[in-house]
């Protein structure tokens, strides 16, 4: 679960996409490096933010999903 106390998260050393579930309503700022991507989904699975198309902070509802895609680190 990802909550408001988290400061930063990154793609792990295995290089797999990282998935997080919002434990409560939060607003996040997704900053991705070149060749990276961040996507936010509603609890029902509908995409609500994609860093390729969108920018700025994004509201993530409770139980919303955050996917980070990119190279390790």
* 24-69: pLDDT as tens digits: 999 998 888 888 899 999 999 999 999 999 988 999 999 999 999 8
Q: What is the distance between the alpha carbons of residues 11 and 20, in angstroms, rounded to a whole number?
A: 11
Single pTM value for the model: 0.84
Q: Where are the domains of the chain?
A: 18-69
Element (H, E) at 50: strand 47-50
Residue 13 has pLDDT above 90, yes or no: no
> Six-digit token pair at 21?
């579930």
Question: Are residues 48 and 40 in contact, defined by beta-carbon separation less than 8 angstroms?
Answer: yes
Residue 3 has pLDDT above 90, yes or no: no
Burial class (CB in 10 A: 0-12, 13-18, 19+), 66: buried
Rounded to 5 degrees, φ, ψ at 28 are: -120, 155
């Amino acid at each position: 679960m990802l909550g408001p106390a988290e400061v930063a998260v990154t793609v792990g050393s295995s290089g797999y996409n990282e998935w997080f579930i919002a434990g409560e309503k939060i607003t996040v700022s997704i900053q991705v490096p070149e060749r990276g991507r961040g996507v936010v989904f509603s609890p029902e699975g509908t995409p609500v933010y994609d860093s390729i198309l969108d920018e700025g902070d994004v509201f993530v509802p409770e139980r919303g999903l955050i996917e980070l895609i990119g190279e390790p680190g």
